Each structure stands twice: as structure tokens, then as C-alpha cells.
Structure 1
């Protein structure tokens, strides 16, 4: 799947789970602003597994610098769709972010929020068109504004941020199971799991049907979860 598709799917799954899982995981329901922010952060987290892809969405974020970083991660993880596309990576991302939030509290929360917003804005193409430098500056600016807003008005972000990381990364890994070559879910066990619904990344089914349907579904579910949660929970 394309980076844009992964981002939208991460937001969709977070929005769908928002009325149900947070009370079980963090002991309280999410506030409307947290539902909206969480969907965007999960969209950003849904790109994390592709840090192993030298030509993926994140590799183009900061030109040669991000491509070099992605190449290094690919070497360390065994290549594209290896270690970072597994349940082990999902578990480590969630546990690691939780431990870091507990250790460094608001500083880490703000840093990770900014990073995931940066990824999400880039993937969802919310930045302006034009020169690359202008687009990157706008992407960074929007991520900074979102982080400052979360810091000011959503002080409880750290309590559920690791949950958003797990939702996003897990959605990415399962989404790639729908494509050819699949993913090694049980890495380091090498068997790849796949149910091929998307025969070629970026085909018409993905770009003209799947992404628009997921986008519309995300908007509806975010609104219901944020402003009419009883409609979903009964």
C-alpha cells in the first residue's frame, strides 16, 4: 500500500476503536479533541514501519537526509518488509513509547507528537504545493502548530499516545498483508502472511476506491466518536 493509504487506514482504525478501546486501555473515554488528534497521530504512526523503505513516503520528507536514514534502518532491520513489518515491531513501538512517556513525560510526548504530526501531514498531503522547500516548511509549521495546541489544550495526550502508536503500526502491518509478498508477521520466523486484495501498489482499486472510502469512513467515525459516542456504543 502507498504511504497515503497507510496513513488514512491508521486514522480510520483509531476512529473506529475510539469509543470502545480507550476506556479499557487507559481507563477513561477520550475527549473530542483527543479523538481528532489521535486519528491524526495514528495516521503518522502508520508510516513508521516504512522507515525501512529508501523510496517510501518518509524517505522523501527531507530529501537525501531522510533517504539516508531509511537506508540505514533498512540495513539494520534486514531490508524492506522485514523486521519493521512484524508484530514484534508493533509491540516494541508501543512498549518503547510507553516507557519513554513514563520516563521523560511531557518532553517526550511533545517530541513524539510533533514527529507523528509531521509524518501525517506529509503523507496526507496537507502541505501546500510548490517548491519542495516551501512544502517542507509548511509541513513543519503545521506539525509545530498542532503540537503546541496539543500541549496547551490536551494535557492528557501522553496517557494514550502509545495506544495510538500501536494502532497505527499494527494497521500498517496488517494492511501490507493485503498486498503481494505480504509481511513476516511472526518475525524472526520468515514465513510471510498475505491475502492479496491489492495486486499492485497504487492501482486504481487502491487510489480511486479504497482511499476515498476510507477517508469518508474516517470523517464519519471521528465525528461520531467525538460528538455522538452513544451512537456507536449504544
Structure 2
């Protein structure tokens, strides 16, 4: 489900960007890309996940630590009706607490310098590229070039624009991390297994209560619903939410000549002789 998680993070980033004051392509694209990458991070608790295999032994080691921590936390906090399982996958890293905590940690890195913030943003970007492909890297590089060269104010240098860009990242990187992780949890709540993202709130005797859709609406991870419905819908939304795309489509459709042309095409297609 890695690709769907990354796409959902991309869509969430595009949707939330205006709410945190990001409106231009140069701002929105890096934010959405980082959100897409951090939408994969909760699955560090699974050894076969994209995030766990991303940097080979390094992320593999991080994955092992996350799994052990998650298992220990589950043993300490499980309620009387929680399952008698290991608590390693879809537990500690799949909670709102983890999303908020890591989001605040990423935001606090601004105190350690702009390059620390940039490192966090690049980690999210490269993880997203690892799953979604090089097109995302090209998009972010293009947006970054626009920030440095195209958006520089008269009388400023490229170095000044770059510094401004790094300062801008510090303003949103914590939101990107937290939003991406929480988006992952919401995605898992659509599946048959559900996701206990409201931990440690006890529900029906369970501290790790799996939130999920009604039975008829749940889908299997990697099944046809995800591949044929969920992923294409996310991809379409990921294009429509790019700055300027939806208004352009609406203005094009509402144009009188375009509407008449489409009408003539369809009239011709369905004007059969009987």
C-alpha cells in the first residue's frame, strides 16, 4: 500500500498547503512532496515496507528499533480486551500521538539551523521519490529553481532567495511530517485491519482500538479496490489540486467556443443513421 499512502500524502499536502499560508507552486510542491514522504514513515514498523528498505541496513536498523519499541509499549498499555499479539505493526507509529510528536520534533529543528530543517525536508522528498518515481524530484527541483531564480525580488541575489526558501521550509516542515503520518493512519482505517490511531484513548475495553469503516466498505490492502479505484482517484486529485490547474480547467470548460466544440464532437459521435 506504499504507493497509495504516498499519493494520499501528496493530495493531503496540496489540500492543506493554502491553510498554512502556502499558495504558489514554489511553496506548495515541496510541501506536498515532503508530506508524501512522511506518509510512508509509520510503516517503519514493518521490515518489508518501503520506508524500512529505503536506505538498506540503516533504515532496517531503525525499523527494528521501532518494532521493539512498539511491542514494548503495547505490552505496557494494552487494555483488558486488546488482542494478545506482538503489537509491533500498526501500533505505536500508527497513532495521532506519534504524528503530533514527530511533527513538533521536526518543527523544533529550526532552532538548530536551517540546514537541519532542509535535511528533514529532503528525507521526506527522497522517500516519496523512492516510491512515486523521479517525476516528483523533477517537480520539486523545478519549484526550487523558481524560488531561487524566478521569485527573487529585484536587488536580491540567488543566495538571498535560497536563504528565504530555507526559512520558509522551517515554517512548514513540522506540519508536513505530522500531516503525512496522520494521513497514513486515516488510509489504514479504510482497510480491513483498521488502525488504532486514537491510542491511548480507551474504547470498549481496548487501549489500541482499531478504527475502521463499516464492514461492507473496507478493502483489502493491495487488492483490486486499491489498485483500480483508490490509487487512480488519488492520482487525479493530485493533479487537480495543483495551484492553478482546477481554475484553468473550469475556465476552459466554461468557455463558449470550447463548449460548442465538445457538443459538436459528441453530436457527431452519436448521430448514427438507422
- Could you tell me the TM-score, scaled by structure 2's length? 0.68
In structure 2, the gaps of 5 or more residues are: 72-87, 149-161, 201-206, 252-274
Partner of 1:224: 244
Counterpart pick for 2:198 among 176, 186, 189 = 186
Equivalents in 1 of 2:247, 2:108: separation in Å?
Answer: 31
Task: Map Cα deviations across residues 103-149 of structure 1 (whole Å, 9 max, x no partner).
Answer: 1130211110111011100111338xxxxxxxxxxx9x979968985
In structure 1, the gaps of 5 or more residues are: 24-28, 128-138
Map 1:1-234 onto structure 2 (within 5 A): 2-19=1-18, 21-23=19-21, 29-78=22-71, 79-101=88-110, 103-126=111-134, 152=162, 154-155=165-166, 156-188=168-200, 189-195=207-213, 197-224=217-244
Equivalents in 2 of 1:198, 1:227: separation in Å?
Answer: 33
Change in 2 beyond 3 A, CA 1:52/1:113 = same
Displacement, 1:66? 2.6
Q: Is the 8 A contact 2:34 2:122 kept in 1?
A: no
Structure 1: which 4+ aligned runs deviate by more than 4 Å? Answer: 141-151, 225-228
Change in 2 beyond 3 A, CA 1:64/1:220 = same
Equivalents in 2 of 1:167, 1:58: separation in Å?
Answer: 17
Q: Is the 8 A contact 2:29 2:139 kept in 1?
A: no
RMSD of Structure 2 on Structure 1 (CA): 2.9
Return the structure number with greater relative CO, CA threshold 8 A, min gap 6. 1
- Could you tell me the TM-score, scaled by structure 1's length? 0.78
Larger Rg: 2
Corresponding pairs, count: 209
